[in-house]
């Protein structure tokens, strides 16, 4: 049988057929047609995919002060879900999640550091917008953020249903911004809105009983409820969705496509250990069971 005929026969069998063929020796030639060196050579000569592989480490721009996304633990090590995503990328590149150099940066430096080449990729709870997408290329989303209402174990109102029923008597604290009032009123149309200068003060208002609910990021609610279940409750309502994605420079499809593939496999297929552990550790969540069949990506 010719090599081309051999390959066609193996491909007809699908995934299990390929696996069986390789194990039995049938189709072994087809499975090894492309060596790692040849595969590497397929990337464009100026692609970061080649550059990063040659360098043998990944340079990631991120933050260090925003739990549960990126912050320092008691040992001074960067941890958080953004850090998990960076280690997933490193694992895919080098079969080693530790080959990462983190560049701590202010959120305002996220786009400049990508466009100037200071970092290979930004993984820093970056919200996808059409305006930003004119300056950087976004990966597939790795989290769908939203606004949620956190309540107090000691408070009068604990669930979203109770907050709505409370009407004008309910006070909701929120970080001060131009969209604060309409954002809060979208969930609690009759409540009193307390705009405060920091998210920490919005949470403190809930702690002190001055507010009945703190209107904050869903990820923050999950983080705080997991860490302090005797103090905080998730009221059960989230809205105002926003996409979080990694960002890379424009004009490098090989690098972007590789990052997307790595995230897809981590989130939806057989290489999800790091992603799953991150969701559990930082949000107290488990991903939906990955069921074979029609893809959900």
Structure confidence at residue 10 (pLDDT): 37
Cis peptide before 215 (omega within 30 of 0): no
- Specify the 3-state DSSP secondary structure of 187: coil
Token pair 């202010």 is at which residue?
106
Structure confidence at residue 45 (pLDDT): 74
Token pair 């790091």 is at which residue?
274
Tokens, residue 193: 């809105």
- pTM value is 0.84
Structure confidence at residue 36 (pLDDT): 54
Burial of 179 (0-12, 13-18, 19+ CB in 10 A): exposed
Q: CA 215, CA 199: separation in Å to the nearest integer? A: 9
Strands 171-175 and 137-138 come out as unpaired
Answer whether 177's CB lies under 8 Å from 193's CB. no
Instruction: Select the CATH number that applies to the domain covering 145-242 from these four: 1.20.120.10, 3.40.190.10, 2.40.50.100, 1.20.910.10.
Output: 3.40.190.10
Burial of 132 (0-12, 13-18, 19+ CB in 10 A): middle
End-to-end CA distance of the chain: 38
Domains 43-136+249-283 and 145-242 belong to one CATH topology:
yes
Structure confidence at residue 269 (pLDDT): 87
φ, ψ for residue 240, nearest 5 deg = 60, 60
The closest alpha carbon to 210, from 170, 257, 247, belongs to 170
Residues of the chain with pLDDT under 70: 1-44, 297
Class in CATH terms, 43-136+249-283: alpha beta
Tokens, residue 91: 């694992």
Q: CA 60, CA 52: separation in Å to the nearest integer? A: 11
Domain positions in the chain are 3-33, 43-136+249-283, 145-242
The closest alpha carbon to 27, from 36, 15, 41, belongs to 15
């Amino acid at each position: 049988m010719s090599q081309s005929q051999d390959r066609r026969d193996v491909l007809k069998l699908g995934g299990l057929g390929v696996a069986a063929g390789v194990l039995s020796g049938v189709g072994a030639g087809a499975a090894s047609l492309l060596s790692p060196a040849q595969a590497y050579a397929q990337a464009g000569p100026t692609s970061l995919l080649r550059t990063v592989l040659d360098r043998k480490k990944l340079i990631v721009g991120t933050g260090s002060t925003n739990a549960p996304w990126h912050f320092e633990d008691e040992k001074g090590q960067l941890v958080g879900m953004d850090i998990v995503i960076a280690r997933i990328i490193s694992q895919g590149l080098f079969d080693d999640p530790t080959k990462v150099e983190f560049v701590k940066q202010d959120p305002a430096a996220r786009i400049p550091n990508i466009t100037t080449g200071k970092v290979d990729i930004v993984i820093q709870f970056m919200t996808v917008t059409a305006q930003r997408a004119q300056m950087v290329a976004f990966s597939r989303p790795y989290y769908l953020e939203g606004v949620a209402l956190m309540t107090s174990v000691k408070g009068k109102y604990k669930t979203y249903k109770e907050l709505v029923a409370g009407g004008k008597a309910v006070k909701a604290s929120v970080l001060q911004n131009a969209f604060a009032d309409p954002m809060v009123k979208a969930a609690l149309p009759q409540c009193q809105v307390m705009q405060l200068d920091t998210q920490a003060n919005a949470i403190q208002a809930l702690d002190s009983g001055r507010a009945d609910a703190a209107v904050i990021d869903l990820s923050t609610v999950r983080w705080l409820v997991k860490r302090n279940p005797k103090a905080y409750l998730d009221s059960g309502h989230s809205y105002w969705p926003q996409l979080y994605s990694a960002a890379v420079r424009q004009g490098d499809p090989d690098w972007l496509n590789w990052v997307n593939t790595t995230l897809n496999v981590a989130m939806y297929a057989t290489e999800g250990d790091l992603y799953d552990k991150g969701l559990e550790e930082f949000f107290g969540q488990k991903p939906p069971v990955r069921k074979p069949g029609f893809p959900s990506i």
